[in-house]
Every structure is written in C-alpha cells, then in structure tokens.
Structure 1
Amino acid sequence: MEFGRLITAMVTPFDADGAIDWDATGRLVDYLIEEQQSDSLVVSGTTGESPTVTDEEKAALFKFVVERARGRSKVIAGTGSNDTAHSIHLTQIAGQSGVDGILLVVPYYSRPSQEGIYRHFKAIAESTQLPVMLYNVPSRTVVSMSVETTLRLAAIPNIIATKECASTDQVTALVAGAPEGFRVYSGDDSAALPVLAVGGYGLVSVASHIVGSDLKRMITAYVDGNVAEAARLHGKCFPILKGLFELPYPVPNPVLVKAALALRGVPVGGVRLPLVEASAEETALLEQLLM
C-alpha cells in the first residue's frame, strides 16, 4: 500500500451544538486533497479528537470520508486505543467502511511493557488484512515504543509503517534496521526535514491543513535532490509548524489548527470538552502568525 509522502491527520468538524458537521467535513476533505495536496488522510486520530468521538460517529466518519475522497487520496482510520479488544472492534468497523489502512497508537495511560506493546499491536494486525501504520507519541502515551519493539512488529506482513514522534536518533536507528519496504514517517511537523535527511519517508502532518502545498513541495524537493530548496521551504514554514502548537506557550492540538482554518476561510467549528476553543488572545497571536 502506498500512502504517499504527505499525510494529513484531519480535524473533525463540529457544528455549533458539538455534533459532526457533515457539510464542513466534505468541504475539508476536498480542500485537503485539492488545495493542500494531501496524499492520504487520517480520520479520527488524535487531531480528529478521537477520545471524544463515539464508535458510531467514527464508523460514519470512515465511510463518509472514503466516499468523499473518491480515490483521490487514501484514507487511514485511527482505530487505536489502550484497550486491545476495543481496538480490534474499531478495526473491524473500519474494514467494513472501505478504508485503505489503519493507524494504531501506542496504548496510553496503561503504561504497558514493551512485550505488552508488541502483543497489543500483533493482535490487532492479525485481526485484519488492512495495512497498519504504528504511531509512537511518547508525549501523549508516556511509554515510548522502543526501536527493538518496532522492528519486531515490522516483521508482521501487514505492519508497513510507523509514525514517529520520538527523537531523530530513534528514527535513525529505525531506518537503519527496518526491513525493505517498511516506511518511517515523521509525526512532528517541525522535524520533517531532519527525518527525511536520516532516511525517513514522509510526514504525517497537522500543519498541512494550512501549509500543506509548501510541505509537499519541500518533500518533493528533498527527494529530487534539491536540498537547498527543501531547506528554504522548511524555513518558510517553520514558524507555522511550531506556532500551531505553541503561541509561544503550549496549546493542545487541535485547538489552534481549527482556529487557523477559520481564519483561512475553512471553518470547522470548535472542539469538544475537555478541550476549549482558542481564546481571543490566542486567536490574535495566531492571526499575526498567519499574516
């Protein structure tokens, strides 16, 4: 399965009552594919506020985005949780919706051992024929999946990629030890170019909602050997890559990217509690950043 170089972790649009806004979702899918040049879309990942989206809503989202994308991009369903049985259930739902793959996050809160992480992912992968992308994000899960565990999992035929938010050192070791065809993606927008430089394949991005076309050009320039142009584009995007998470203080994702989309004329509504919408001060700072 080819997920492409630029994957957008898509926000979930909500209406004024906090329900999924299907019209806005459709417009967002078109915008991310046509204007921001996303090769694939992750639906109901962390950026899609997966903890507060119900199973029924996720099933409807998977089906809706597949139908709206119409083959213009791949669709990857976020089906990971800290409950192996529940993750398998969501994965079965995703499979029935026609998605192209699934994204599985390291189990959060439970703090499993490396063996527990391995068995969790192995059980889910063996429950489906869909391609699997792993997701290691220690800042949210506390436990980090080790290089050794990732490479054990890479031997399972349908585990084909990992989204890494660990250090560049870990990415370097993963690339060096990975079997042929196993792809390592940066899960950190601002680390995309360094990850490419050590052999990573691409980026799973939040900032691609706003600067996706520039990020796509940056990746293409690097792959084509034009490192200077890639560095220029990285520098151009860098304030936004950092600012969508820190303004200059940390703001939880996807609060700022939803506010940024509204400022760019692509309204997607607010966020569900326990997240809260960007304050007037944060919105003003964000507006300056996007000028």
Structure 2
Amino acid sequence: MQWGRILTAMVTPFTAEGKLDIDGARKLAVHLVEHGSDGLVVAGTTGESPALTHEEKIELFRAVKEAVGDRAAVIAGTGSNSTAASIELSREAAALGVDGLMLVVPYYNRPSQEGLYRHFEAIAAATSLPIILYNIPSRTGRNMEAATTLRLAAIKNIVAVKEASGDLDQATAIIRQAPADFLLYSGDDSLTLPLMAVGGYGIISVAAHVAGEKMQAMVSAFTAGDTRKAAALHRELFPLFKGLFITSNPVPVKEALNMLGLPAGPVRLPLVGASKEEKEKIAAALRETGLL
C-alpha cells in the first residue's frame, strides 16, 4: 500500500446554487494531483460529508476516480455514526474501484472504546479495501484512545490512522507500539512536521489545496534528512496553516480556492461563507505565503 505522504482532504465543489459541481470536482482533483497531492480523500470532513447525500457521495467517488485514478490514490470517506450505513457505502465505493476507505470515529452517539473497536472491526470485515481510521475528537465528541487504535492496527486491512486529536503523546504511543507497516498521518497541517519528527508518515491536508508543492518540499526535505530546510518551510507555511482554520473548516479553504480561481464555490448550510473580516485574514495568509 503506497498512497504517498501528502493526501489532500478534498473540498466538494458546489455551484452558485448549491448543487454538486461534478465538472468542478474533476478539474480540482486533476489540479491537486498536478500540484503536490499524492492522493485525495473524497467526502471527508473537508468535503462537507454531513451535507452530502448518499447518492452525491457515490457520484463524487466515481468522478474523482475517473479523473485521477491512474495517477493518484483515491480514498473514499465512507464512515458515519451508523455501522450498517458505513458498511453499505463502503461496499458501493469498493465497487467503483476506489483505492481505500477513510472511516471517521462515530460522532454524536459517543460509543465506548469497545464500541469503537467493534464498529471498525465490522466495517473492515465487510470489505477487502485498505482502511484509514480517522480520530478527530473536536468534531466527534469522542477520542479514540491509543490502546483502541493499536487493537485495530492488528486487523489486516486497517493500515493507517489520521490522528487529529492534537495530542503528540497519544500519537507517539501509537507510533511506538503499532506494527511497522501501520502508518500515522497527521490530521492537522501545523503538526505535520512535529509528528513526522516522532515517526509519523505524512499528512491528510487542507493546506495542500493551495500549497501542495511547498508541503511536498517540506516533507521531502525532512525525509532526506534536511531538517533545517523542513523547519524553515514549516515556519513559512505557518500563517497559512492557521489562516485556513480561523472559522469552521472548509469555509476558509473554499474561500482561498475561490480567490485563486479554482473550483470550490460556496459551502452548504448549516455552514455559511466567510465574513468580510475573515476573507481579509484569509487573503493576508495567502499573500504572506506568496500564493496571492
């Protein structure tokens, strides 16, 4: 399983009327792969998965796979807070030929650690595709503890975790004890380099929408042993990492893409577009990073 170190959590482009922009999704997918992304995660948090219908997700998986499938990994976001629904969507995504699945910790229903284990175990048993677990307690209301991730890492087709807990100790505990071929991806752009320093593999990124090549340069410098250059690039990108999270993701990154003339369009309710002040801060972050 070689998906690369920079996977972009792709936004879902919408038309001005809020309809799914499939042509825009194809164009954006190609642009991202040509500008630093090793692979794409489709219909994840940044893709506004809670606001997409089942049918729209299938349409997106198909379109992105057709657009870049021979050049980059396409990972389908098929997780939800219903185990049965996650299994159904995972099977349909597999039939479309996606390269892997990303499964978020079930949100709102706050399962125990044993419940988390059984949820992911059941989905893994229903597919042969490789799976990335996704831990983001700020959105789900439940942290998947290192011990649970390590139990799941023993399942053959659970191959990675996107760790967005912001907890370097938790990430270190996973890296320290997981099988050698189990990968930990950062779920926070600004923690990419710190996590790689303790053995993390890469990033499932928001910032790579607009700075994929610079992020590739940072990661490549680190893996080549040039930590000074990697740190300098991290510092250069830092205003962007922070500027893209001044309000709920993906509001700022969609605004940034629109500013750069790339397909994104509006967000869907219950999210609302960036305010005038927020737009100014996003534009300033793009300028400071030399992108605008």
TM class by shorter chain equals over 0.9
Task: Give the Cα–Cα distance (whole angstroms) in 1 for the partners of residues 281 and 263 of structure 2.
Answer: 18
- In the alignment, which residue of structure 1 is the partner of 2:9? 9
Task: Give the Cα–Cα distance (whole angstroms) in 2 for the partners of residues 194 and 288 of structure 1.
Answer: 25
Residue 266, structure 1, aligned to residue 265, structure 2: no
1:267 deviates by: 3.3
Equivalent residues of 2:243, 2:281 under 8 A apart = no
- The 1:70–1:117 alpha-carbon spacing in structure 2 relative to 1, beyond 3 Å, is closer
Residue 186, structure 1, aligned to residue 186, structure 2: yes
Amino acid at match of 2:67: R
- In the alignment, which residue of structure 1 is the partner of 2:22? 22
- In the alignment, which residue of structure 2 is the partner of 1:170? 170
Amino acid at match of 1:177: Q
TM-score by length of 2: 0.97
List runs of 5+ in structure 2 lacking aligned partners. Answer: 288-292
SS in 1 for 2:180: coil
- In the alignment, which residue of structure 1 is the partner of 2:290? none
Task: Give the Cα–Cα distance (whole angstroms) in 2 for the partners of residues 7 and 169 of structure 1.
Answer: 23
Task: Give the Cα–Cα distance (whole angstroms) in 2 for the partners of residues 229 and 180 of structure 1.
Answer: 27
Residue 41, structure 1, aligned to residue 37, structure 2: no
1:290 deviates by: 1.2
1:279 deviates by: 1.6
Task: Give the Cα–Cα distance (whole angstroms) in 1 for the partners of residues 175 and 256 of structure 2.
Answer: 34
Alpha-carbon deviations, 1:63-106, whole Å to 9, x = none?
11000003111000000000000000110111111100000000
SS in 2 for 1:130: coil
1:286 deviates by: 1.4
- In the alignment, which residue of structure 2 is the partner of 1:97? 96
SS in 2 for 1:93: helix
1:1-291 mapped onto 2 (5 Å cutoff): 1-35=1-35, 37-166=36-165, 167-246=167-246, 251-291=247-287
RMSD of Structure 2 on Structure 1 (CA): 0.8
SS in 2 for 1:102: strand
Amino acid at match of 1:211: A
Equivalent residues of 2:185, 2:204 under 8 A apart = yes
Alpha-carbon deviations, 1:111-156, whole Å to 9, x = none?
1000000000000000000000000001011110011100100000
Identity of aligned residues (%): 56
SS in 1 for 2:17: coil
SS in 2 for 1:252: coil
Amino acid at match of 2:189: D
TM-score by length of 1: 0.97
Equivalent residues of 2:42, 2:77 under 8 A apart = yes
Task: Give the Cα–Cα distance (whole angstroms) in 1 for the partners of residues 63 and 249 of structure 2.
Answer: 23
1:222 deviates by: 0.4
Task: Give the Cα–Cα distance (whole angstroms) in 2 for the partners of residues 285 and 201 of structure 1.
Answer: 31
Amino acid at match of 1:113: S
Task: Give the Cα–Cα distance (whole angstroms) in 2 for the partners of residues 218 and 288 of structure 1.
Answer: 22
Amino acid at match of 1:288: A
Equivalent residues of 2:27, 2:263 under 8 A apart = no
SS in 2 for 1:267: coil
Task: Give the Cα–Cα distance (whole angstroms) in 2 for the partners of residues 111 and 70 of structure 1.
Answer: 35
SS in 1 for 2:256: helix
Task: Give the Cα–Cα distance (whole angstroms) in 1 for the partners of residues 170 and 281 of structure 2.
Answer: 34
Equivalent residues of 2:10, 2:206 under 8 A apart = yes
What is the total number of aligned residue pairs between the two structures?
286
Task: Give the Cα–Cα distance (whole angstroms) in 2 for the partners of residues 215 and 236 of structure 1.
Answer: 10
Task: Give structure 1 regions of 4+ aligned residues with deviation exceeding 6 angstroms.
Answer: none
Amino acid at match of 2:207: A
SS in 2 for 1:151: helix
Task: Give the Cα–Cα distance (whole angstroms) in 2 for the partners of residues 208 and 70 of structure 1.
Answer: 19
1:284 deviates by: 1.8
SS in 1 for 2:23: helix
1:221 deviates by: 0.5
List runs of 5+ in structure 1 lacking aligned partners. Answer: none
Task: Give the Cα–Cα distance (whole angstroms) in 1 for the partners of residues 171 and 56 of structure 2.
Answer: 34
Amino acid at match of 1:78: G
1:177 deviates by: 0.3
Amino acid at match of 2:257: L
